[in-house]
Structure 1
């Protein structure tokens, strides 16, 4: 009889770095990743990573890198992964923020505008007005604050994904937590950014 699936993958052993040898942190990350994928495969019969494109897998790998900020090793990783996917490190950084915000769906929301059917999208603007927010401008699956510093994007999963930009710039970055409620998705964001100068 086959062995039962373990309740969770175990941590790999820790190996000290050796001069001229492979990066022990990278090996640890790869071993942890392989164990997690094997665990999912054993439990479900499918590999969630097998269906990803090269770009999506590069984003997933970069997003799994712990820590905040771009250290020298993280910059090197981003540069290598972005180059392999024929993208820039800045594109990868924005995509990583989207992945951390909502996984594959968060990335789709970042990269693919779409035309939602009537319903949830149409009800969002009155909900925002009822919360004493100004009239957000609609475009496809996006609602943009009149000052141009906040945007809500409706995902195909029915969640609202919040984005921020400098007013007057079209440089949208994922911020905050997706929510079924458009007003809830704006929680914690600066709703009253200073007017453009």
Structure 2
């Protein structure tokens, strides 16, 4: 079973399962892929087998001829020919005996991750959209690990990883299939689809830092937060009321992130239903101006 650095406590995790599905599909189509993974192409392997079989046949014929000569014209001999061999325990011994052959050098890394196959819909099989998403994700992470040795999502919590997966899906929330994806991901994290949709908006706004701004109010030290209100007033913008790291009006809100950027939010007046909007910026006036379309 392949190892995975994701925080999923399932065994196998969803990424390993998707990778196994993909590997099984490739092996079903062409069993020689298994040898190719070990550095032996199909034609090379068949040629090697043909040479070995030819050599073995020649040895057997020679031994049969020798036994026939020893038995005489009317004699016969029984038993299978004895072929040269090496005991497995000798080859696998820690020391002594012939050395095991070296593994072939690793193949060069591909230019980019491949696309998974189109999985047919089957009532008895996992959701094809989820399989496609997980296989694509596993391929991208595997390629990144292979080429850089880094996995930028290894430290994410299950909730952060679910948000990231949903945010990476094109057109999320617009079709029946992606709504089903939202529902399943949210249910797995004991959240509502609305919670996930709001978190996806925050992730698309600023990644993990944007999600932290959405979910974690904090008390910023004196400095940029204190200078923001006078700057907003000087720009002839509405008066904002402060609360922790947030400045709010009835329908607009600024949130200061721990990264020093201001994140814009909007809500219908009086509802306190804040949704991330716009692009983070170090200038609070610029964020509000962009939200107002000035």
Question: What TM-score do you get using the length of structure 1 for normalisation?
Answer: 0.84
User: Structure 1 pair 2/123, CA: closer, same or farther in 2 (3 Å)?
Assistant: farther
- Structure 1 residue aligned with 2:120, among 9, 17, 29? 17
User: Higher mean Cα deviation, 162-171 or 64-73?
Assistant: 64-73
Q: 1:157 aligns with which of 259, 262, 265?
A: 259
CA deviation digits over 1:116-148, x for unaligned, max 9?
111111111122112111221111110112xx1
CA contact (8 A) 2:130 2:181 kept: no
| Alignment pair present for 1:140 and 2:248 | no
Contact 1:136 1:144 in 2 (8 A): yes
1:107 partnered with 2:211: yes
Structure 1 distance, partners of 2:121, 2:245, is 51
Deviations 1:133-170 (A, max 9, x none): 1221111110112xx10000011111110000111111
Show CA shifts across 1:37-78 (max 9, x none). 123323443322221111111111111121154322122111
Corresponding position: 1:98 with 2:195: no
State the Cα distance separating 1:24 from its structure 2 match: 4.2
8 Å CA contact 2:172–2:179 kept in 1: the answer is no
Q: Which runs of 5+ in 1 are unaligned?
A: 193-197
RMSD of Structure 2 on Structure 1 (CA):
2.3
Are residues 1:125 and 2:229 paired? yes
- Corresponding position of 1:79: 183
| Map 1:21-100 → 2, pairs under 5 A | 22-67=126-171, 69-100=173-204
Identify if the C-alpha distance between structure 1 residues 137 and 25 changes in structure 2 by more than 3 Å, giving closer, same or farther.
same
Q: TM-score, normalised by structure 2?
A: 0.58
How far 1:9 sits from its partner (Å)? Answer: 3.2
In structure 1, distance between residues paired with 2:107 and 2:235: 55
- What does the per-residue CA deviation read over 1:87-130, in whole Å, with 9 as the maximum and x for residues that have no partner? 11111111111111111111000000001111111111122112
What is the DSSP-based 3-state SS (H/G/I as helix, E as strand, rest coil) of the residue aligned with 1:175?
Answer: strand
Q: Report the 3-state secondary structure (helix = DSSP H, G, I; strand = E; otherwise coil) of the residue aligned with 1:87.
A: coil
Measured in 2, the distance between the counterparts of 1:134 and 1:51 equals: 40
1:195 equivalent in structure 2: none
Q: Deviations over 1:17-45 (max 9, x none)?
A: 35555544433322221122123323443
Q: 1:131 to 1:6 in 2, by over 3 A?
A: farther
CA distance in 1, matches of 2:171, 2:279: 19
